[in-house]
Homo-oligomer: A and B are copies of this chain.
């Protein structure tokens, strides 16, 4: 099965580099992570990474697209698991699928760092596309009310904050209060869910 080629095709490399970019940029964001970091993770030279993507910013944007693609997939999987087709049940399983997906923090942190890099038009566009895609899909698939979708997204954002500050590991009243009902290891989440 496995080819004994030494070189990959450019397409294979691109895919591998994008995956590496997701992991690497999740660690520190656009400006704190270097092209060399991504290259190292992918096991190729920085020069070739730049040949594949022309600029660091484009690479980040590609990573972000991949991030939203995976989230979309997770949502579809989640929706498929719902036992009934009510908005509430669909939002619940979708939220659970999202929570599970971002238990591995990379996709979450990448979104956080993306919000901080909105000064780059390429990245701003990717974030907007991502938010639009998730919102549209959730709304269409669940047929929930606008208010419910809003709440779904809002709790997703709260989940991002709580994860970045590691509130789940803080034993103080405020942290307990905010994390109540999330505990994103078990896919139970508050009335609404936990996306974007």
A residues apposed to B, CB below 8 Å: 27-32, 112-113, 115-119, 124, 127-128, 131-132, 135-136, 139, 146-147, 149-151, 153-155, 157-158, 160-161, 164-165, 167, 170, 172-175, 177-178, 180-181, 190, 196
Contacts and interface: CB of A to CB of B under 8 A. Distances in A.
Given A135-B177, A146-B180, A153-B178, A128 B190 contact: no
At the interface, is chain A mostly helix, strand, loop or mixed?
helix
Contacts of A174: 131-132, 135-136, 139
A151 B135 CA distance: 19
B165 A177 contact: no
Q: Which A-B residue pairs are the 6 nearest by beta carbons?
A: A31-B31, A116-B116, A157-B157, A154-B158, A135-B174, A154-B154
A132 B172 contact: yes
Given A118-B165, A164-B118, A139 B31 contact: no
Given A131-B167, A158-B154, A116 B124 contact: no
A122 to B, nearest CB: 14
B150 A161 contact: no
Nearest to A136: B174
A136 to B, nearest CB: 5
A160 B158 contact: no
A189 to B, nearest CB: 11
A196 B27 CA distance: 24
A119 B32 CA distance: 10
B190 A150 contact: yes
Contacts of A27: 119
A178 B116 contact: no
A173 B136 contact: yes
Contacts of A165: 115, 118, 124, 127-128, 131
Q: Which of A27, A118, A175 has the most CB of B within 10 A?
A: A118
